[in-house]
Amino acid sequence: MRMKWKSWSLNKHHHLLVKFAVAIFLVGLAFRLFVARSKGFASDSESPVLEEEHVQKPDLKPPPVEIPDNEDQVPLDIVTEKCDLFTGDWIPNPSGPTYTNKSCPLIEGHQNCMRNGRPDSGYLYWKWKPHDCQLSQFNAKRFLKLMRNKAWALIGDSISRNHVQSLLCMLSTVERPVEVYHDEEYKSKRWHFPSYNFTISNIWSPFLVKAAIFEDNNGVSTAEVQLHLDKLDKTWTDVYQSLDYMIISTGKWFLKAAIYHENDTLVGCHICPGKNLTELGFVYAYNKTLHYVMDFIAASKHKGLIFFRTSTPDHFENGEWHNGGTCPKITPAKEGEIELKDLNKILRNIELEEFEKASAKAADNEVNLKLLDFTNLLLSRPDGHPGPYRQFQPFAENKTAVVQNDCLHWCLPGPMDFWNDVIMEMVVNG
């Protein structure tokens, strides 16, 4: 009886050794398969390399970050904790932009800095990082899937048009949109993504209220703007209820010379010497307009998602748009190095105040109104403007030529692309 027990014990011991050896073998095999699979992901997920003749990478090269494309196998690094997405720093981004001026034909000439001959490229290799949380890279494929059968519109001035181009370029890495509409001046446009039945519109409405504008594409005016402070611009209100998502903005245009109308009556002006009108100033007009716009939105019962975006800073030095201002910086500014200009502060304060007033009313009416406060995010990017490279090869014939600088709009690719990271996070996680 004892011999049988001993034999059974030895057999059991031998069985355990065999199991242990098999387990070690399986762990080793799994590890080798995991390494091989990881290498496969790395090769598939590298960001597109910019053409050498257009872009030269900076010397600063942190370790590359792998971002696999397959959303079904690798979970998106979407922010789960709540944080202030608009307070943070620009950190090195060695992978660079997801598109180039060659891969995206939708960039308008004035923002196509690489094509126009901008010699430095360091401005392309930074990304926005909020202080208190991680922010996922914009995922064009997932965004398009979320937007199936939906309609977006970006409503405002040329900064909105600048942003539309950025968003379209990022989405075109998955599918090239088809332009299906433009107005006579090509200022309002609409694009369609056939595979997703998704449309994006750029609606030109720089004041958001009714306005008669006498200005060319270079910003030269022949007369004051005729501005009706109590009449919303039908260009956007007529399509308002048909839109699922909107980004509405305004700002800098209110600094222009203008004649103000209310109840079809002249009430005053901003910068109108010799007109025998009361100088009311742009603050009066901006307050009135934004209050009217916000009240319309808050009472609208709209069932989609509406973003209101604050105005963006410019970085003109030693002058302004038409009197020799330049923006020569080629690196982001450090914290505290640049202060928001007084005029920008005034605009932003009015925007935040009117948004705050409308928020409670919007919530009561179940209107989903959110704030995109990108002012400070771009304040630290004086390097991101076209500057003299709003024109094609401005110094090709004369190295010392005096040319107009654009220190208001943004190069594409460039800092504005990271607006889309923030917007996707807010769309996905609310």
Per the structure block, which two tokens stand in for 91? 């950190």
The whole-angstrom distance between residue 89's C-alpha and the CA centroid of its chain comes to: 16
Active site residue 47: no
Q: Check if the beta carbon of residue 227 is closer than 8 Å to that of residue 194.
A: no
Helices 419-429, 158-171: inter-axial angle, 10-degree rounding: 70
How far apart, in Å, are the Cα atoms of 380 and each of 55, 116, 317, 324, 325?
Answer: 22, 24, 14, 22, 18
Q: For residues 78 and 138, what is the distance between their CA atoms, to the nearest angstrom?
A: 10
Specify the DSSP element, H or E, that contains 308.
Answer: strand 305-309
Helices 282-298, 342-364: inter-axial angle, 10-degree rounding: 20
- Measured from the Cβ of residue 75, the count of other Cβ atoms closer than 10 Å reads 7
DSSP secondary structure string for all residues of 107-131 = --GGG-TTTTT----GGGSEEEEES
Active site residue 406: yes
How far apart, in Å, are the Cα atoms of 367 and each of 248, 292, 354?
Answer: 14, 16, 16
Q: For residues 34 and 93, what is the distance between their CA atoms, to the nearest angstrom?
A: 27
Active site residue 77: no
Q: Which one of 158, 160, 188, 205 is the catalytic residue?
A: 158
Coil, strand, or helix at residue 57? Answer: coil
Task: Annotate 18-55 with b (16+ C-beta within 10 A) or e (fewer).
Answer: eeeeeeeeeeeeeeeeeeeeeeebeeebebeebeeebb
Q: For residues 322 and 388, what is the distance between their CA atoms, to the nearest angstrom?
A: 13
Handedness of CA 179, 158, 352, 423 (dihedral sign): positive
Q: Which one of 228, 261, 385, 409 is the catalytic residue?
A: 409
Q: For residues 322 and 318, what is the distance between their CA atoms, to the nearest angstrom?
A: 11
**CA-based nearest residue to 123, from 410, 426, 425, 422:** 410
DSSP secondary structure string for all residues of 117-170 = T----GGGSEEEEESSS--PPP-HHHHHHHTTT-EEEEEESHHHHHHHHHHHHH
Q: Which one of 157, 373, 406, 417 is the catalytic residue?
A: 406
Report the catalytic residues.
158, 406, 409
